Structure 1
Amino acid sequence: MLWAGLILATVLLAGLWAWKYVTLTETLKDAGPSPEARNNPYLAAERFLRERSVKVQHSDSFTVLNGLPAIDHTLLLLAERDRMSPAQSQQVLDWASQGGHVVFVAEQLWDENSKKSGDFLLDAIGVQQLLTRDLDDEEADKQDEEPAPAEKWAQLTKLYLENEQEPAYIGFDDEFHLYDAKNLAQSWANSEAATHMMQLPWGNGLITVMTDAWIWQNTHIGEYDNAWLLWYITQDSDVTLLYRADKDSLVTLLTRYFPETLAASALLLALWLWQAAQRLGPALPSPALGRRQLSEHMRASAEFIRRHSGLVSLITLLQKDIQQHARRRHPGFERLPVAEQWRLLGRLARLSPQEISQTMRPLASEKLSPIDFTRRVANLQRIRKAL
């Protein structure tokens, strides 16, 4: 009991000391953006629109244009367009002309020498993007100076609305300027130095061009009136946001544009694999290690010639061999008429003129029976031995 009392007293004294001297505080630690926010730089923009009952979907490919409704629909084309083909650019413009609203970022600068920028969408609608420092306006030179605190709002882009006393302030970057070369724009938003947004009609639809879209990314949409601008240009419509366009693989491109060629190549590959595949069967006996006799080599050579050239070729070889032996053994043989040559060979081999004629006559295309072939070979061997 004594020990229990001591332990209880110690616990009470420790509790009184902690109650008097220990203060509990809460600390919030910023863990950074979530994985979803890191993968989607416009996640906050999507949630902002959904909170205002705007139907939003996003895509990672330009194929989203296929079958996308145009009426009462806004396409936020915020992805990099360096892989966008002229055909896809024309598809976007056709979609807008059918009643859709396209919002895209100017990506290339105007080249005065080539009279184009290389940005298919910009060049098609006649809008040029320039560097603000290259403008002739003297006020453009002030952008390189550090603005005073009182001039902070003067550096922002101002959007004036009808029946509104004050403009909306947007945090566009003052480095770029948009120029309407065809004078088609019906509304625009300017800062003190440059124009950063234009809206122009296109067929039955509308096109909005901006110098940059980072104002709607997760880290900047809460600044100034950036979020309000997103709601303003997408109001009363559904929204499709294209913020990342992955490059199509070679297989995807081949499947899309050359399906017949791909199918034929796959079929040829399958046939080649079938032909080259290993075939299983009984093991071949090991060849004898002993050397073959000369007669076996001769028979094998004769059999090879017979299979590839036929019996006539063997007769022809024997006839040529006899001609060569006759020229060596009887000088001047080759200058004799054919009839004299055959008469000489018949006399040496003791064969009748008819047998010599049948044996030595060329057989270019004649077919031989096994019996006729054997008789001719026997006579040719007899003639050769007589020489």
Structure 2
Amino acid sequence: MTAKRILLVLVSLLIGALVALFLTFFERYERQLDRGWSAKAIRNPYLAAERFLDARGLETRRADNIAAVAGLSPQDTLYVASSSQVYNGERARELLDWIERGGNAVVVARRGTEGERDWLLEELGVTAETGSGDFFFTNPMRRFIGEEAEEYSGKSASELLREHNRKLREGENTDGETPEDSGADAAEPAAPEPPEDPDVDPSALVTLTSDSGHDYRLHFNPTTLLWHPTLDSEGASGDSDPAFWANMENETAGGDSDPVFWADMENETAGVPFIQFERGDGLLTLMADAGLWQSDRIGHFDHVFLLEQLASDGDFVFLTRPQFDSLPVLARRYAREFFGAGALALLAWLLLRSRRFGPRAAEPETARRSLLEHIAACGHYYWREDRCSALLARYRDSLLRRLGGDNASQKTRRRLCEQLNAATGLGETRITDSLWGQPPHSEEAFTERMRNLQQIEAVL
């Protein structure tokens, strides 16, 4: 066996041994990492609600204007994220007409500024009042460090986290145990994760009872509450039947302007967070909390049960405020198309500039010539076009008319030459050639003739 074959056998045995070791000691495990919300969930706060309804077999879609009511069927459900989107009386009337034909609408009442009209609430006789504002999610750090957040009220989030981390490093805990006290339990299994629902005072919850006898709890934001005159006459606390739609027909009697059901909170007297109206064959639900079904709160308590009960058999249409992506988000999303289009435009420009027909034209002169160069160029042009003789003849005829020498006799010409000779110093021969001689045939002779005529004109 050659050395080459021995080397190949040893390499094969080594590779086989490594594979056997890997298969012997390899252990597969899975770990779940929370990467935060996706870009789609950030753009659409109702994404979790849409996916829940899709899982229940209901079609969901989004709309941007209350005018979408014209295209809804009586079996659909319309969720309006703010009553201000019903921006005039005509739109409010269209919405109520659709409800009377059997539509199901869920509207979040908005508490506007003083003097601002809410057309839908005016039609229903409902006003949005200011509540207590004691909401669990008012302090955002409360979700992460629990009730300890109340100890640091007035501090910024960064200061609050630094203080909390310092206490953790020092070994402090909520039970007041020291690290030595808790060292004996260090080997014990970790405590189970806290429940999904936040620790809210039961008096701040709304409890509804379904027709099957089960109690369902809801946590509304008490910052804004709803008020109707019926609540004043009936009593907003303790007079409404807690049964959830089970005894709606036995609720307050009255016209379409009176609510048929409302849910009250024990610790709130300014109003209620939830009112329902029957309009014709349809149902209108008013809520004071716009975040009940948003993705960060729909999983708490029984919020999703309320959404399922309010949804009808048709499509569920979300009418929310349009949210536009920022410029950096759009740049990242369409960067490939942008640079691709730019590359194609550059290629087309290069192809256009690279094509030409015939020899390359000379670059035009950009510098301006002087006045003397301009006069010289004009003179050469007139000389080439044989216009100098006509120019000389016109100039000479005008001088002869002034001297009275046109068609003059020889005696008169001699007398004029003597007078001009005495005045200009030019010879009589040069004067005669300039005034009555033949046209010149060279540039130098033409220039001399014109100079002589200018001297004669100067003494006249």
Q: In structure 1, what is the Cα distance between the partners aligned to 2:56 and 2:102?
A: 23
Aligned residues: 237
Q: Which residues of structure 2 form unaligned runs of 5+?
A: 148-197, 232-257, 325-373, 375-460
**Which of 58, 63, 68 is the matching residue for 1:59?**
63
Structure-1 separation of matches of 2:57 and 2:135: 43
CA contact (8 A) 2:86 2:120 kept: no
Return the alpha-carbon distance in structure 2 between the equivalents of residues 20 and 106 of structure 1: 64
Matching of residue 192 in structure 1 with residue 266 in structure 2: yes
Q: 1:164-183 residue pairs with structure 2 within 5 A?
A: 164=213, 166-182=214-230
The amino acid that maps onto 2:299 is: G
Q: 2:154 aligned with 1:77, yes or no?
A: no
Matches of 1:229 and 1:141 in 2, distance apart?
A: 20
Q: Kindly tell me: are residues 51 and 212 of structure 1, through their superposed partners in 2, closer, same or farther at Cα, counting changes over 3 Å?
A: same
Per the TM alignment, residue 162 of structure 1 is displaced from its structure 2 partner at its CA by 4.2
- SS at structure 1 position matched to 2:273: strand
Cα 1:13–1:203 change in 2 (3 A) is: closer
SS at the partner of 2:95?
helix
RCO greater where, 1 or 2, for CA within 8 Å and sep 6 or more?
A: 2
The answer for the alignment partner of 1:229 in structure 2 is 306
Three-state SS of the structure 2 residue aligned to 1:214 is coil
The answer on 1:48 being equivalent to 2:97 is no
Q: Which runs of 5+ in 1 are unaligned?
A: 135-139, 248-288, 290-387
Counterpart residue identity of residue 155, structure 1: A
* 1:8 and 2:82 aligned: no
Conserved? CA contact 1:110–1:130, under 8 Å: no
Q: Deviations over 1:287-327 (max 9, x none)?
A: xx9xxxxxxxxxxxxxxxxxxxxxxxxxxxxxxxxxxxxxx
**In the alignment, residue 180 of structure 1 is paired with which amino acid?**
H
3-state DSSP class of the match of 1:213? coil
Distance 2:16 2:323 in 1: 67
Q: CA deviation at 1:235?
A: 3.3
Structure 1 outlier segments of 4+, above 6 Å: 140-150
Larger radius of gyration: 2
Calculate the aligned-residue CA RMSD, in Å. Answer: 3.7
Taking only the aligned residue pairs, the percentage that are identical comes to 26
Show the counterpart of 1:130: 129
Q: Distance in 1 between matches of 2:51 and 2:124?
A: 31
Q: Which residue of 2 aligns with 1:207?
A: 284
Q: What's the CA shift for 1:160? A: 2.8
Which residue type is aligned with residue 196 of structure 1?
A: P
| Structure-1 separation of matches of 2:57 and 2:19 | 54
Pairwise CA distance, 1:11: 2.3
Q: Deviations over 1:256-299 (max 9, x none)?
A: xxxxxxxxxxxxxxxxxxxxxxxxxxxxxxxxx9xxxxxxxxxx
SS in 2 for 1:102: strand
Partner of 2:99: 96
- Please give the per-residue CA displacement for 1:150-209, whole angstroms capped at 9, x wherever unaligned: 764443222233452x42112321322221125522111223323211102234432210
TM-score, with normalisation over the residues of structure 2? 0.44
Partner-residue secondary structure (3-state), 1:186: strand
Aligned to 2:188: none
Given that residues 41 and 217 in structure 1 are in contact (C-alpha distance below 8 angstroms), is that contact kept between their aligned partners in structure 2? yes
Alpha-carbon spacing, 1:3–1:170, altered in 2? closer, same or farther (3 Å): same
8 Å Cα contact 1:59/1:240 also seen in 2: yes
Query: Within 5 Å, which residues of 2 pair with 1:1-387?
Result: 1-19=5-23, 21-69=25-73, 71-78=74-81, 81=84, 84-108=87-111, 118-133=117-132, 152-162=201-211, 164=213, 166-182=214-230, 184-194=258-268, 195-245=272-322
Q: 1:23 to 1:205 in 2, by over 3 A?
A: closer
Contact 1:110 1:128 in 2 (8 A): no
Residues 31 and 188 of structure 1: CA distance in aligned 2, closer, same or farther (over 3 Å): same
